[in-house]
Amino acid sequence: MWIAENWKDYELLDTSAGEKLERWGKYLLIRPDPQVIWETEKKHRGWKSPNAHYHRSKKGGGEWEFFDLPDKWTIKYRDLTFNLQPFSFKHTGLFPEQAVNWDWFSDKIKNAGRPIKVLNLFAYTGGATLAAAKAGAAVTHVDASKGMVTWAKQNAASSELADAPIRYIVDDCIKFVEREIRRGNKYDAIIMDPPSYGRGPKGEIWKIEDNIFPFIKLCSQLLSDEPLFFLINSYTTGLQPAVLTYMLSYVLQPRYGGRVVSDEIGLPVTASNLVLPCGASGRWES
């Protein structure tokens, strides 16, 4: 498992009975997590005095209960700064486990010895975009949500990357890739974090088990003659690391060779020394 263990402003303190206790900067949050199917003694005192608690409803969804939490706050990872806020369906605007991938591709970009163009699809609030830009890449950031792209721009400004070579696009990712192919544009690296299910701005339906493999093949047409890496992140139950390996190997290795490795990504749990699984990532590298 690839473990995001270099955080200072974030900490997964404890897990029990379907929930996790986390420290985001100086604030403690309790949020549900479907992977936490064990029930152990809650030793950390933070369980009794969180700043906010997201309660999942048995009917689906849920809602926040706030005790002492600001509307917005920031945390840092290395030299990046992220703006956080609690919003619907338990999220804060950041997936801290992805830091293990940021570190991986940042090293590749820094050591490439040449300018690198990165395409970040389903780019959310821009964690990967900022990491790639900070490492020296020119990044195209694509997401169908105008609100998420605005949030990414705010994160870039907070990270002193407002003037970095980042192109922000609000669009359906499939339609954007199709247009880029027609334009003849090329990228040295592609990052994608596709949802299990979603709708584009014009009602386009995305269902990962039906769309992911054709989309990987489509995106491969955007790769330059000497691509550096291709990263897929998945939070979809049933899309195992081996499946990511097979898809990337089938599409990329016949033309580019290189190496494909996939694994679960996770966060260390302070109270138990366990590692909480948080999805999977597939990495192709030249």
d(CA 87, CA 192): 22
- Complete DSSP assignment for 253-269: HHHH--EEEEEEEEEEB
How far apart CA 38 and CA 44 sit, in angstroms, is 16
Determine contact, residues 62/29, Cβ cutoff 8 Å: no
Residue pLDDT, tens place only, 230-264: 999 999 887 899 999 999 999 999 999 999 999 99
Say what the pLDDT of residue 203 is: 75
Q: Give residue-wise pLDDT tens across range 147-161.
A: 999 999 999 999 999
Position 132, amino acid: A
Q: Supply the pLDDT for residue 61.
A: 85
pLDDT for the residue 60: 79
Question: How confident is the model at residue 24, as a pLDDT?
Answer: 98
Strands 19-24 and 73-77: unpaired
Task: Indicate the pTM of the whole model.
Answer: 0.95
* 28: phi then psi, degrees, rounded to nearest 5: -105, 130
Closest to 260 in 3D by CA, of 270, 271, 268, 252: 252
Q: Which domains does the chain have, with CATH numbers?
A: 2-84 (2.60.40.1180), 96-285 (3.40.50.150)
Q: Which residues of the chain have pLDDT under 70?
A: 200-201
Q: DSSP assignment of the chain, as one string?
A: -EE----SSEEEEEEETTEEEEEETTEEEEEE-TT--------SGGGGS-SEEEEEPTTS-EEEEESS--S-EEEEETTEEEEE---STT--S--GGGHHHHHHHHHHHHTSSS--EEEEES-TT-HHHHHHHHTT-EEEEEES-HHHHHHHHHHHHHTT-TTSSEEEEES-HHHHHHHHHHHT--BSEEEE---SEEE-TT--EEEHHHHHHHHHHHHHTTB-SS--EEEEEE--TT--HHHHHHHHHHHHHHHH--EEEEEEEEEEBTTT--EEEEEEEEEEE-
Q: What sign does the dihedral 157-132-194-255 (CA atoms) show?
A: positive
Q: Which of 32, 38, 45 is nearest to 16 (CA)?
A: 38
| Residue 153 tokens, joined | 């721009």
**What per-residue confidence (pLDDT) applies to 201?**
61
